[in-house]
Amino acid sequence: MTRKIMNARGLALILLVVFVWGINFVIITIGIKDVPPFLLAGLRFSLVAFPLMLFLPKPTIPFRWLFSYGITMSFGQFSFLFYALYVGMPSGQASLLLQMQVFVTAILGVLIYQDTLNRWQLFGGIMALTGIGLLLYGVIETDISILGYLLTFCAACSWGVGNICNRHISIQYKGTNMLQLVVWGALIPIIPFFTFSLLFEDHQHIIHAITEPSLTSILALLYLSIVASLFGYSVWGMSIAKYGTANVVPFALLVPVIGLLSGWVILDEILNSIQFVGCAVIIIGLCVYSLNQKLIQWLQASRAEPNTIIEKPDES
């Protein structure tokens, strides 16, 4: 199938989604100051599912795969992420550490689908793991709980499992509409989130958040559900379908960059020198892993370039 060449409008939409997802972590951090994290997540997915599910048909996939997608991609990922930010995980570092889902997905792909990784991908993965080690070592000089980092990594693992579920759905049930999957998949985590909220969160805090919502919490909820989820996933999915995965997915590398910058600008989050180096190493590792094919093509082209020898004309 021939892919269209990306025009200025297509590029602008992709960059807008990247920006929306980048500051998403700051919005969550602001939102959980007024609303308990599990309650906020439950409300978010309620707005994603309703009322659109009344107008969008259910994706034609077995319920077990819809459940698997929703429980991993939505409930698992965001329960860990929201609670990590609640216990003090910096939003910028969370946006970066969550990208470990790339490597979790790759490892699961090797184990389940017998995918193969080239040396550039392995090198990128080792670099990213080294960067995580530096981030964790840098925590020693701060008052940040290590729990936030562990929870964020668990969120990345859940996202990785969700990617495998998504891959299975796309292979076995071709033509599945992404927006339908996002909306109907959002039904799955609603009850677990509200159950967790009732079991583990302060009931007075819950009542106050529901009966006397602040303008900040309302705006945060609308942003997370409508802008980040419905708009973001819809445009991203349509862009991949229109321009191809290889031309769109690398832009996701900008998400943690925007996440780090927005955390610094809006929330005054700072990195010590060790954490700064760790973040840089992770970003480089992600770039090497995600752009490995372009690196291989560039190296092959460089080696194939013939040495131009200029011969003097024969004067005899």
pLDDT for residue 316: 46
Q: What pTM does this model have?
A: 0.88
In the predicted model, what is the mean pLDDT of the chain?
89
User: How far is it, in rounded angstroms, from Cα 262 to Cα 250?
Assistant: 20
pLDDT for residue 294: 73
pLDDT for residue 17: 93
pLDDT for residue 307: 54
pLDDT for residue 306: 56
Better-scored residue on pLDDT, 179 or 154: 154
Mean pLDDT of all residues in 20-41: 97
Mean pLDDT of all residues in 106-125: 90
In this predicted structure, the answer to whether residue 310 has a pLDDT above a threshold of 90 is no
Mean pLDDT of all residues in 246-257: 82
- Alpha helices by DSSP H, the chain: 8-22, 24-31, 37-49, 63-69, 77-86, 91-97, 101-113, 119-138, 146-172, 178-185, 190-200, 203-211, 215-222, 232-243, 245-248, 254-267, 273-290, 292-304
pLDDT for residue 311: 52
In this predicted structure, the answer to whether residue 314 has a pLDDT above a threshold of 60 is no
Mean pLDDT of all residues in 249-278: 90
In this predicted structure, the answer to whether residue 308 has a pLDDT above a threshold of 60 is no
In this predicted structure, the answer to whether residue 275 has a pLDDT above a threshold of 50 is yes
